[in-house]
Chains A and B, each alone.
Chain A
Amino acid sequence: MTEDDALERVVKILTPHVRNEEALANVSAETNILDDLKVNSARLVDVVLAFEDEFDIEIPDEDVDSVNTVGDCVKLIVGKAN
């Protein structure tokens, strides 16, 4: 899986939780999920669980700590999936 492919699928999963549509329109690897996209922190768990289902991977609790930006998600997923 390429990072571009993962990025596209990550954005798709994040979209229903995003409260800042403008930031979503300009999303990049540096976009912060909580600060820029305004995803509710309590919903971050749902997002990570959706990553597990979508990419058929298991993400340990500790790895969730490293998820701040869209790029962090992509790196984590690609690292687990490949």
Chain B
Amino acid sequence: MGAVELTLRGRASLVLQREIGRLLGPIWIPIVAFLVRVAFGWRFADLQTTRETYKRLRSASSSPLLICANHLTMVDSALIAVALGGPGWYIGRFASLPWNTPARESFASTWYSKALVYLMKCIPVSRGGDRREIGEVLSRISWLLSVGETALIFPEGGRSRTTRVDTAAVTYGVGRIVRAVPDCRVLCVYLRGEHQADYTTLPQRGDRFHVSLRSLEPKTTKRGLRASLDISQQILSQLEEMENEYFDDRK
């Protein structure tokens, strides 16, 4: 592994999507931030520290950065994006706003939802769908990382039904991306609302979120699929450790 392969057509379509999203960014980015922070009243502990840490990571190195997070609710991607940067910063540094791979069934089933996710740097994927389609999505994400964009992936592949990081649910896709992108760094993000006790679609209105960040450069001596799986497992173990720290701090 090591080279990112994507057809010229695939690259052109991503560049077009990014530019349309960027042009309309001054409209939709503040709207998303407004929905998260005002309409739903979701708040973040140590927001400035989190944003400064992410800014520092982005400016400290030009190496590709893949964001990997635990997954509890359907709006985790938006919450993480808002936690990592403010609207003004994202409009000026559009590459720092992460791409996402939402489930097509949930987020891109109608023409207007398709248009919205297109605008919002999303590449919908059918969960458990055709392997070639999933492979194509992974290649797209890998290419985006290699040209300086960031992407957010949930290594568990879906929302945790137990509300705890499920290391048994590891998917190999994350490891595959890391292996495909030379010098790829991983930013592990652990996000949890104070009232998130059960499996829910949305966090409780007005909930306060704790966000912790940890950099990781996973390495493996394994080969093939086992190497991808090993890297994915390292990332999930890191998220599990961050989760344990979160609960230890609250004892």
Contacts and interface: CB of A to CB of B under 8 A. Distances in A.
A5 interface: no
B225 A59 contact: yes
Nearest to A49: B225
Secondary structure of the B side of the interface?
Answer: helix
A62 B135 contact: yes
Contacts, number: 50
Interface residues of A, number: 19
Interface string B124-140: 00011111101100000
A58 B157 contact: no
A61 B128 contact: no
Interface in A37-66: 40-42, 44-45, 48-49, 52, 58-62, 64-66
Contacts of B130: 68
B226 A49 contact: yes
A64 B132 contact: no
Most buried by B among A41, A61, A66: A61
Contact of A52 (B131, B171, B176, B224): B224
A65 B135 CA distance: 6
Contacts of A60: 224-225
A66 B132 contact: yes
B225 A52 contact: yes
Contacts of A45: 171-172, 225, 229
Interface residues of B, number: 21
B228 interface: yes
Interface in B132-158: 132, 134-135, 157
Most buried by B among A60, A65, A66: A65
A27 interface: no
Contact of A48 (B134, B223, B225): B225
A65 B229 CA distance: 15
Contact of B224 (A40, A44, A61, A68): A61
Interface of A: 34, 40-42, 44-45, 48-49, 52, 58-62, 64-68
For the complex of A and B, 10 pairs with smallest distance between CB atoms:
A65-B135, A41-B128, A65-B131, A58-B224, A61-B176, A65-B132, A45-B172, A61-B228, A60-B224, A67-B131
Interface of B: 1, 127-132, 134-135, 157, 169, 171-172, 176, 179, 223-226, 228-229
Given A40-B128, A48-B225, 13 more contacts: A34-B128, A34-B129, A42-B157, A44-B131, A45-B171, A45-B172, A45-B225, A58-B223, A61-B172, A61-B225, A64-B131, A66-B131, A67-B131
